[in-house]
Amino acid sequence: MNSSVGSKAEPQVSRIVAISPDDGSAIDLCNPALAAVLSWAVPGLGQLYQGRTFKGGLFMTAILSTFVFGLWLGGGKVVHASWSEGAGRNRRGIAKLLIQPFVCQAAAGLVSLPAVFQSVRLDGPARQPLVLGGGMIPVGFMAPPLEPGQYVSRAYADRLVQYDPDINADDFFDKPPLKQFRRDQLALWHRQLGRFFEIGTLYTMLAGMLNLLVIYDAWAGPLGPSEEERKRRAAEAAAPPMASNGHAS
């Protein structure tokens, strides 16, 4: 009876691959779930992780530049996360959440997360954004707009009065140790920026929605024709050309 000593079979490592619709080559998706998370965090990073450097660089440049351009057009104000009562315009529950542009903007990845930190800090005990802004950084950068009757810290109120030309000291009630805003800041933003507020919002939302396709590409590979479509194309290519029986006039 023969026995094998000391030799063990190497474990088989299964790889998840996709087929390129361009040249039919195999694409190693590595860990698709990890690649999808990476492409959400930074657009195109999942493709870079999979070794698809050209596509990853292209996605990263296109989506991040679109997001940053829209943010610049909107003066740093068009990306904000707000869950206050007035944000949903009298809607409740999931309907109030779904109408927020931030639902789409958040799909652009980590670049949108400062809006969450700004909102949580403004609605929390501090009553002011994490980054107050002023000077090079717009005051209240990526912070949600103040609503009539909203309480804020004295430091944030003073910063708004100092750097926002449409806000003055009379726009706040003195409610020690806080101050209470009397106006609708979102309406002020629309008046300041005009159509650029809507255009900037559209660009940042578009960047997030495009990144959903990038995330899917990292998880499942590039979209290509269905199996039936490939068979039909192969049959058409293999079929002999039809003879022409036309008569010359």
Q: Is residue 4 situated within a structural domain?
A: no
Structural domain of residue 89, as residue ranges? 18-220
Residue 40: count other Cβ atoms within 10 Å of its Cβ.
21
CA–CA distances in Å: residue 81 to residues 78, 99, 113, 240: 10, 12, 9, 61
Q: Is residue 43 situated within a structural domain?
A: yes
Residue 173, H or E segment: strand 172-175
Q: Please give the angle made by the CA atoms of 201, 207 and 212, to the nearest 5 degrees.
A: 130
Q: Is residue 83 situated within a structural domain?
A: yes
CA–CA distances in Å: residue 173 to residues 51, 74, 161, 170: 58, 28, 13, 7
Q: Is residue 234 situated within a structural domain?
A: no
- The two tokens of residue 193 are 């920026």
Q: Is residue 231 situated within a structural domain?
A: no
pTM, whole model, 2 decimals?
A: 0.80
Do residues 179 and 170 touch, judged by C-beta distance below 8 A?
no
Number of domains present in the structure of the chain? 1
Q: Is residue 174 situated within a structural domain?
A: yes
Residue 163, H or E segment: helix 154-163
By the 10 Å C-beta count (0-12 exposed, 13-18 middle, 19+ buried), 5 is classed as: exposed
pLDDT digits (tens), the chain, 249 positions: 454 455 555 555 456 676 666 666 778 889 999 999 999 999 999 999 999 999 999 999 999 999 999 999 999 999 999 765 444 444 444 445 556 899 999 999 999 999 999 999 999 999 999 998 887 888 989 999 999 999 999 999 999 999 999 999 999 999 999 999 999 999 999 999 999 999 999 999 999 999 999 999 999 988 766 566 666 766 777 777 665 555 544
